[in-house]
Amino acid sequence: MVYVNQGGAYERDRRYLTSRITTDGKDGYPVEPDRYRLVVSRACPWANRAIIVRRLLGLEDVISMGVAGPTHDERSWTFDLDPDGRDPVLGITHLRDAYEARVPGYERGITVPAIVDVPTGQVVTNDFPQITLDLSTQWWAYHRPGAPDLYPDALRGEIDEVNQRVYTEVNNGVYRCGFAGAQEAYEESYDRLFTALDWLSERLSRQRYLVGDTITEADVRLFTTLVRFDAVYHGHFKCNRSKLTEMPVLWAYARDLFTTPGFGDTIDFDHIKRHYYVVHRDINPTGIVPAGPALDGWLTPHGREELGGRPFGDGTPPPPPPAGEAVPPLAEQGR
């Protein structure tokens, strides 16, 4: 659902279900293996964050994952990828059913990621910024051996500060460009976006990762926007001052993360392009999905190792994705 104010500026609806799954279960949802199902779409950058963090922390065996199809109607994300179009664990065809099980007549956006309480079939939360933080800080007893600390105590203040600017100017900034309803609102959003990207380029020219010398939550949040930039945001959302491939520092940084286990192996460019170009008919009335861009550049050397840093700190890379969760090889995702 797209909201545009009287000045033509896009405003994201952030009225989420904010119950949390915590070690103390204070909201009625305690950390408990095999109780919850993370529902995502590989097309969605907000859901992609949760997929990556779940992978990096090794929570696949304790939190199952349902994957909705890349397109949806006005009512809801649907489970088109599953046999008979029905999620095999929740038994539903539309994610809306889980929202309405929690709040009958639910009137807000049906968004992913959403964590569903399997015994009741009710959505616990769709508060995407908190979901990934809680996976790091509340599910620690079930992290895999060697899991990285994505939200270290000593760096939380700086991570939060960087995340706030990245969210307002970049993660949500591309949407503010794409859904702007007036020229002035679009140009303001465009200027803010590229000012922030220039700031990030300068920051990352001196250090391998956004905060500290290891991957943190901040890198996860920026990556999911960068990886979609040339395929979608540059053209579809009119973010066209520069392609990612024309911003040398950010392009190398994005390739560094893409080739890091847990990042590129969650990306499905076919799902990404089909979602944006087919669902957003107000922007792309024909529903034609572009054939490009070429994807082979993602696997070229990036040279970021020269800046030092250790991707997983004292930890280790995650193992390959579980059976059934692997994305197609990159060569099969493009022409």
Residue 44: active-site member: yes
- Secondary element (H or E) of residue 68: strand 64-68
Return the number of other C-beta atoms located less than 10 Å from residue 17's C-beta.
18
Residue 239: active-site member: no
C-alpha to C-alpha distance for 9 and 186, rounded to whole angstroms: 7
| Helix/strand/coil for 114 | strand
91: left (phi over 0), alpha (psi -120 to 50) or beta: left
Using only C-alpha atoms, what is the Rg of the chain?
19
90 burial type by CB count under 10 A (0-12 exposed, 13-18 middle, 19+ buried): buried
> Of the residues 16, 29, 175, 209, which is catalytic?
175
C-alpha to C-alpha distance for 222 and 165, rounded to whole angstroms: 10
> Of the residues 10, 36, 44, 239, which is catalytic?
44
DSSP string, 269-319: HHHHHHIIIII-TTT-TT-PPP-----GGGGS---GGGG---TTTTS-PPP
Number of helical H runs and strand E runs in the chain: 9, 6
Between CA 52 and CA 166, with CA 171 as vertex, the angle to 5 degrees is 95
C-alpha to C-alpha distance for 65 and 203, rounded to whole angstroms: 35
Sign of the dihedral through C-alpha 10, 249, 216, 270? positive
Question: Which residues are known to be catalytic?
Answer: 44, 175
